[in-house]
Amino acid sequence: MTAIQKNPNSPVAHLSAEDIETLGRELDIIRDEILADRGAQDAAYIREVITTQRSLEAISRIVLLGSIFPPAWLLGTAGLSIAKILENMEIGHNVMHGQWDWMRDPKIHSTTWEWDNASPSDQWKHSHNELHHTYTNVLGKDNDLGYGIMRVDEDQRWSPLHLGQPLWNLLNACFFQYGIAAYDLELGKNLSGERRRDPGFRAQVGATLRKIGRHATRDYLLHPLLSGVSAPTTFTANLTANLLRNLWTHSVIMCGHFPEGVQTFEKTSIDGETRGEWYLRQMLGSANIEGSALLHLMTGNLSFQIEHHLFPDLPSNRYQEIAPRVEQLFQRYGLTYTSGPIHRQVASAWHKVIRLSLPNDFLRSEPIETVAAESLSERVEVTV
């Protein structure tokens, strides 16, 4: 039997093993209700989003044929940026999670969807669906924590190299799709080990490079050439749209797992982990973004990151519906529902990146503004 270690600084010290399993059963009820209620309205939603995204991209590319004129450049670039964000966030990410597999539509299925991103879908699904969502915020198991280039916890040993992590994070944001592709390949580990000569790894690298080549040819050669005299401005429009998509995606993901108040976990904490404890780890290891319906759409509903991590296979359009019920569970069980407007969450995440680039206690460790947090240096421990 597992039990929460009675650390007085732990945000779950007041919960018994029975409390946690009861919490898990209550979350199961929410999930089962949505699974049973999926239907035509949900299917219509994702089909409408896909149709809107494809139409917006096509119209934007047509407008960019005249991008030599500044209004056309601005309109085309804005439309293309939005289309790329929608494809990555609300469509690609969620389709590849299997959220729409129940429709049995081979065109909108996790096994067939290939998204507009540098990382091939099969590699992304392994690193994201299988590893990140299984080992959420477990140090040494979830490579999404800092993507292997940043210090994300006070108990990680500091070195002078960490002084550069704000710069690494900024560069990663600008080239995010390529950073994710390198991360999915685990280049840092595989290039320095024997696996660099493994045929399977070499095949994965080849698949990634071919996909990058196809996308670069489309965005930086084919479409500019089709624009004739507008080729240079169409080139810059595509470059800008990809940059904005990268910066937005990076910011949304940072808001979901990096703000002050989000917990990290030791490897030993998941030994013998029960379903209730897995749910609890998702609750403490995620954070939400508050905003309008448009913001939720543009984040792929990852503005409800807590609900997404609890139920990654539920249709994304249902997260807003269940969020109040999930928040009520947080309140009843005495847990902090970490949430805030996007500007505050982005600022909080960057504050943490900068703070942890320095030795412990160099900067004060209290969270900025009113971002909710327990003890920032303490992590939840679960022992067998």
Lowest model confidence (mean pLDDT) among 116-125, 181-190, 265-274 = 181-190
Confidence of residue 141 (pLDDT cuts 50, 70, 90): confident
- Residue 189: its pLDDT value, please? 73
pLDDT at 355: 92
pLDDT on residue 5: 39
pLDDT digits (tens, 9 = 90+) for 157-195: 899 999 999 999 999 999 999 999 988 888 877 777 676
Lowest pLDDT segment from 142-146, 277-281, 355-359? 142-146
Instruction: Provide the Cα torsion 108, 111, 112, 113; round to 10°.
Output: 60
Q: How far apart are CA 304 and CA 34, in angstroms?
A: 16
Q: Indicate the angle between helix axes 165-174 and 231-257, nearest 10 degrees.
A: 130
Strand partners, 3: 383
Q: End-to-end alpha-carbon separation of the chain, Å? A: 7
- Strands 339-341 and 288-290: what pairing? parallel
What per-residue confidence (pLDDT) applies to 267?
86
Confidence band (pLDDT; 50, 70, 90) for 1? very low
pLDDT at 129 over 50: yes
Encoded amino acid at 306, one letter: I
pLDDT band for position 221 (cuts 50, 70, 90) = very high
Residue 8's pLDDT is: 53
Rounded Cα distance, 184 and 128, in Å: 8
Give dist(CA 296, CA 304) in Å, integer: 8
Domain boundaries, the chain: 3-383
Q: Which residue has the tokens 């597992």?
A: 2
Task: Write out the DSSP string of 25-65.
Answer: HHHHHHHHHHHHH--HHHHHHHHHHHHHHHHHHHHHHHHGG
**pLDDT tops 50 at residue 382:** no
Whole-angstrom Cα Rg for the chain: 22
Q: Dig out the tokens for 163 from the structure.
A: 């002084």
User: What pLDDT band is residue 56 in, cutting at 50, 70 and 90?
Assistant: very high
Whether residue 372 has pLDDT greater than 50:
no
Please state the pTM of the whole predicted model.
0.89
Q: Residue 257 corresponds to which tokens in the numbers above?
A: 């797992």
List, in sequence order, the alpha helices (H) in 97-230. Answer: 121-124, 165-174, 176-185, 187-190, 199-217, 223-226
Yes or no: say if 118 and 214 are a contact pair by the CB < 8 Å rule. Answer: no
Q: Are 254 and 305 in contact (CB under 8 A)?
A: no
Q: Is the pLDDT of residue 288 over 70?
A: yes
Q: What share of the chain is helix, strand, coil (3-state, %, to 5)?
A: 65, 5, 35
**Dihedral sign from CA coordinates of 106, 108, 110, 116:** positive
In the prediction, which pLDDT does 383 show?
34
Half-sphere exposure of 348 (CA within 13 A, CB side): 31
Predicted confidence (pLDDT) at residue 40 exceeds the cutoff of 70: yes
User: Is a pLDDT exceeding 70 seen at residue 352?
Assistant: yes
pLDDT at 346 over 60: yes
The CA-based angle 82-34-108, given to 5 degrees, is 45
Distance of alpha carbon 305 from alpha carbon 348, whole angstroms: 16
Q: What percent of the chain has pLDDT over 70?
A: 90
Judge whether residue 371 has pLDDT over 50.
no
Q: Which residues of 59-91 are buried (b: 16+ CB within 10 A; e: fewer)?
A: ebbebbbbbbeeebbebbbbbbbbbbbbbbbbb
81-84: long-range contacts at Cβ-Cβ below 8 A with a sequence spacing of 24 or more?
A: 81/240, 81/241, 81/244, 81/245, 82/56, 82/298, 83/53, 83/54, 83/56, 83/57, 84/57, 84/116, 84/241, 84/242, 84/244, 84/245
Q: State the average pLDDT for the chain.
A: 89
Q: Could you tell me how many residues make up the chain?
A: 384
- 258 DSSP assignment: -
Q: Which of 168, 272, 317 is nearest to 304 (CA)?
A: 317
pLDDT at 6 (0 to 100): 39
